Amino acid sequence: MTHEPHWLLDWYWNNVSGENVSHLICDSLKGRCKLRIAGDLHHYMRHSCVSSEGPIHVQHLLVNGCGGAFLHPTHVFGNFSQFYGKTYDCRAAYPSFDDSSRIALGNILKFRKMNWQFDFIGGIIYFILVFSMFPQCRLDHILEDDSFSGLLMSFFGTVGNSFVYVLEHSFVSLAGLVLLLIAAIAFVPSKLSRKKRAIIGLLHVSAHLAAALILMLLLELGLETCIRHKLLATSGYHSLYQWYQSVESEHFPDPTGLRARIEQWTFGLYPACIKYLMSAFDVPEVIAVTRSNICKNGIQSLSRGGAIIYYASVFLYFWVFSTPVVSLVFGSYLYICINWLHIHFDEAFSSLRIANYKSFTRFHINSDGDLEVFTLAIDKVPKEWKLDPDWDAEAKRPQKWSHQRKYPSKWSASASQLDPVNTVKIVDQFIIRKTEKHDFASSNGSISS
């Protein structure tokens, strides 16, 4: 028994480890090691040696780490077949290869739900990638195109021009793109060649950049459409406050001049606080007015404070739009990698946080001296438990070990159909026959007692 299943991990990573254990098994035990068992990988797999000529150093290779906090895939290791120069066949896998591949689909459908914290960094990264693209002042060719195909061509042509602008003129967006590319290449597992890692990293970043540019252009088109239809940028920065003043003067007249005196007593803080508080809730108008000023007079016309307010306001809306997309793109990347390229097996399944598919292995030496191996499993782990009334009612005297009691567990599942007592099943069972001493002596020399 070892902590890690070297036979699987060495095959996967193209590595060689566990030399001391190999020396013990091959040079000292010489065929007496019938079973190697390990954990670490959170699934169950058993490989058995196919009959062949020559000595068999290990008959069975068993991995059971299903007690781990999350699940690991099995289909990634489906092509393992060679160990110690012998051929091995996969006799059992839990979950099955098909189920494991199907579970990986959750990276597309559930990644954001299970990893909502990823939204924070993902939205910031997307905004950095398109920071230099705001605002887009020349969108007439898109909005004025009559045909749908022409609109699409104009739209994606503008996306391509934005990408060229990032490469040729941008500083912030280009720096973010380069850093993201380096991180994406480094994120690809080292088992692949540098060329493949560079290609995968480049494709990964390209997908994120394309998504960010498309979202940026959609946001700008939405603002431009609202401005053209007089829905935004009609009354300046404080349109909401101006509306409030009109309503206040109409429904709450001040014939005594009380509001003017309050403004004088507070040194102008009374109306100023209301004005700027309302402009904080009128972010679309602030964006639209500032965008119109930039398109008319250039970015140089903005003060430093005005530029900070504009980009902060744009960031708020762009972050909301981008967070679902960045999770979808990254989840799709993990799905493609785990199912097609068989990489990122740790990241792709730990992100799903699957607590189901639990199992444990039990050994029993029967009356003939044979070792019987059973692996019991449950597909779905109950999330709600209750005190088992049968356990509570059972006599506590004389005191017995739990396995000797009729109701050994204090707890049972709240839903009886999910109770492990009712759902447990045997996913693998095999027997290792007892080997007589004279069999060892005939194949490996005499054995001293």
Tokens 């290990």, residue located:
58
Q: Look at residue 257 and give its three-state secondary structure.
A: coil
Mean pLDDT by 10 residues, the chain (449 residues): 93 91 90 92 94 84 92 94 92 95 92 90 95 91 84 92 93 95 96 95 97 95 88 71 71 77 77 68 82 89 87 93 94 95 94 93 93 94 90 83 84 88 92 74 42
Q: Residue 268's pLDDT is what?
A: 74
In angstroms, the CA 350 to CA 73 distance is 10
Please report the beta strands in 70-182, taking only residues with DSSP state E, as ranges in sequence order.
Answer: 82-83, 86-94
In angstroms, the CA 256 to CA 258 distance is 6
Q: Residue 431's pLDDT is what?
A: 94
Q: Residue 449's pLDDT is what?
A: 29
CB 339 within 8 A of CB 74: no
Q: Which two tokens stand for residue 418?
A: 């999910």
pTM over 0.95: no
In angstroms, the CA 348 to CA 342 distance is 10
CB 208 within 8 A of CB 363: no
| 91 CB-side CA count, 13 A | 17
Q: Which two tokens stand for residue 80?
A: 């393992």
CB 90 within 8 A of CB 46: yes
CA angle centred on 425, ends 420 and 431, rounded to 5°? 135
CB 165 within 8 A of CB 132: yes
Q: Which two tokens stand for residue 155?
A: 């739209």
End-to-end CA distance of the chain: 23
Biggest alpha carbon–alpha carbon distance for the chain: 117
Q: Residue 30's pLDDT is what?
A: 85
CA angle centred on 177, ends 181 and 224, rounded to 5°? 140
Cβ–Cβ contacts within 10 Å for residue 235, how many? 14
